[in-house]
A and B are shown apart, each in its own frame.
Chain A
Amino acid sequence: MEAATRAPAAVDIAGTIERVRALAQSRVAPLAARIDREGHYPADVLRALGEAGAFRQHLASQSGTGQADLLGAIQSMAAVSAECLSTGFMTWCQDACGWYLECSDNPWPREHLLPKLAAGERLGGTGLSNPMKHYSQIEALRLAAVETPEGFLVNGTLPWVSNLGPGHLFGTIFSVAGRGSPRDVMALVDCAEPGVSLRPCPPFMAMDGTGTYAVQFENVMIPRERVLADPVGPYLQTIRGGFILLQAGMAAGLVSSCIQLMREVEPLLGHVNDFCDDGPDALEAELADALSEVGTLCHAPLDPSPEFFREVLEVRLVAGELSLRAAQSAMLHQGARGYLMSSPAQRKVRESYFVAIVTPALKHLRKELDRLARAA
């Protein structure tokens, strides 16, 4: 059993975002191309971001202020994403994993694992893509478990889980048959657990260094102390808002860096870029509007109501669409120089599709919003 880690040291909260931004510029930016194209997984940088406080702002028990500052976490994630969306995405993975533990009624993972996740000492991800699609009637749940006196024996394969590596943690959901009533249960999985194997994915079009694997479960024993919610239903309704709201950090960082790329060429190309569809001023205003909406929703992220969830999904949809437009516009503003493989503009274009495709994808958001509107 792992020893309880110390309570978080007094943290300079106000300085977190600035520290994270400085790290993003000094350590993330130089690695961006390698992470993007060579599949380099920046474990050291992630640990350093954790040390700087990037993974604890949204966790009231770890933030040092007793408050959950989701918007702060989003701003830190944005600073990272502006330099490298892969690292921004892994920041989100880590944030989401901590969020699951923070919101769980089970004290064990909260006491024994959360402090390490919040500090970046242990890295973690989220295996909720498949379950989220399952609950939107898009695909079947891929993990199934049999209940035993000690816990759950899990089998199946979970595709596309990110920010993984030996000893990393992630939260996921499996269906349970056997003893008791059939139900879905959420638990924390340790990649080092016997029976868990990580199979590398084929190369991606961007963001290759995100530690993304297909996770195979062969008779994996999940002890009860690792269970986050049983049954998962009501818990899922409280965590889903924060899970999706935090993704705004990826979009905000990507969009602001695209605006920066447009501004960069303005002195030279402003006279012709005036004829582009989305200029930097317009995009900046849109980003500010979306972020102010996100900020409002961050005040009560655990609201389980469908109306709150609709608002969250809507602003996520807006952020996804804005990411696509901003990257496209950055490319068109930069013109030929953006087309060079050495230019960040072309990388932003590839990265922007990730914001639109990562769960919940734009089409998934629209399907869910359609369902919620018709049910209201």
Chain B
Amino acid sequence: MAAARWVCRACGIVYDEAKGDPDSGIAPGTRFEDIPEDWRCPVCGVGKADFMPMPEAPVRTAAPCAAPRGRGIVVVGAGTAGWAFARAVRERDPDVPVTLVTACDGDVYHKPLLSVSVAKGKRREDLVQAGGAAKARELGVRLVCRAVALRIDAVRRRLVTTRGTIAYRDLVVATGSRPRRLPLEGDAAGEVIAVNDLEGYARLASVAKRGRRVAILGAGLVGCELAANLAEAGVGVLLVDCAAGPLAGQVAPEAAAALASRLAALGIATRWSSRARTLRREGAGLSLGFDDGTEERVDAVVGATGLEPAARLVAKAGLADASGIPVETGSLRTSDPHVYAIGECASARGVRYGYIEPIVAQAEACAAILTGGEAAFEPEPPLVRLKMPALPMAWGRVAGAASPLAWRTAGGVPGEACYEAGEHGKLEAFVLTGALADRAGEWQARLAR
């Protein structure tokens, strides 16, 4: 049977027998072979011989490309985890394309220094170990800075950002954490300073420079360090916590009491068992209102009430839950085989690792896996240090230790003491204060595994 449609090999126009070519005097219904031999393609002018029957079925010779071409590893986040990962990948594979996407400039800095550098007069730029662009050049990675990662198209393996859409072979989410929002009311509720990145540090440093009175909400590790550091810098400090003292639940009560009296000795005013409710502008300053109805005049408020995982990016792709981004502990892989999460946003069996050591270990394990190696992240109990010259402290505890712990004194005098917890000769947790904190390594090694 003759084809009803013929196609020009040169230009692709279709001669449809049903429609004919009225412009050239070929009536509808004229069969192709009945067209005069001097007829020409109405579009490109070639002759009848250059037409062929329109193929009915797709002609495929090549399989659709299985592996996306030219795609590499894309990392979101240029904090401790993101840069540690980039470095670890480069140590193993000089060639795999690595793109680092970050909402900031990607400057490299040591995050634990943010809470202890004001008294030393450090400016934001003094904390920068290397500029983002320079570090990217050094490692041979592409840095896409000032780009907010908006969403993951997991099916097509693409990351949509405010600076363009980037295709990935594997995606590593290292978005870290964000300060937990305080349920404050009032017209200045949005003025709370969070010292969670270099920009937050810059705000803190500028507040401190003017020698004002600053309230710090939250007396955990960071809150205590900030309080001591600002006091040392000559700033009036009010430290607030809803618990009865600092480091609640983290260390032995005797250690917390020693810390509380040392904070008081530094001239830091404290409000324990107290919750801030409102923050309002008052004149040139702020008025911080508490749950008992009282108010305190301050010039700035710093929030240190903890962090939550920054997981919005992956939430829509169904890869996040309330704990953060669930990953398989060893491989750091999410439920998507091409998406990994490391650092403070990743949640391994409900546990998030917020200290430098485990974050770097996660980055290295993930880098090994993504460069074809075999590795697994093995969680170790982190050794935590309170960087406060007036009372250094160090502590550690095994995962899954009973809570609350039954602490006992293991020696020393208040202010320079060891406290431990555990049963049947198994050390489950320890706290070292004062000069004894230098021996944390030995204690850490003794923790029951």
Contacts and interface: CB of A to CB of B under 8 A. Distances in A.
Interface of A: 265-268, 270-271, 274-275, 279, 282, 285-286, 289, 314, 317-318, 321, 334-337, 340, 342, 366-367, 369-370, 373-374, 376
Interface residues of B, number: 31
B103 A268 contact: no
B61 A274 contact: yes
A315 B55 CA distance: 38
A267 B150 contact: no
B150 A271 contact: no
A271 B156 contact: no
A271 B54 CA distance: 15
27 contacts: A265-B12, A266-B58, A267-B54, A267-B55, A267-B56, A267-B57, A267-B59, A268-B54, A270-B58, A270-B60, A271-B60, A274-B61, A274-B63, A274-B65, A275-B62, A279-B64, A286-B153, A289-B155, A314-B150, A314-B151, A314-B160, A317-B150, A317-B160, A318-B151, A321-B160, A373-B103, A374-B148
B403 interface: no
Interface string B4-22: 0001001111000000000
Contact of B62 (A267, A271, A336): A271
Interface of B: 7, 10-13, 43, 54-65, 103, 146, 148, 150-151, 153, 155-156, 160, 162-163, 165, 312
Given A270-B59, A271-B60, A274-B61, A373 B12 contact: no
Contact of A373 (B10, B56, B148, B163): B148
What DSSP secondary structure best describes chain A's contact surface? Answer: helix
B144 to A, nearest CB: 12
Contacts of A271: 59-62
A335 B155 CA distance: 28
A20 B141 CA distance: 51
A268 B7 CA distance: 9
B43 A267 contact: no
B17 to A, nearest CB: 17
Given A286-B156, A369-B150, 15 more contacts: A267-B54, A268-B12, A268-B59, A270-B60, A271-B60, A274-B60, A274-B63, A289-B153, A366-B162, A369-B148, A369-B162, A373-B103, A374-B103, A374-B148, A376-B312
A267 B160 contact: no
A335 B12 contact: yes
A142 to B, nearest CB: 27
A340 B11 contact: yes
Contacts of B160: 314, 317-318, 321
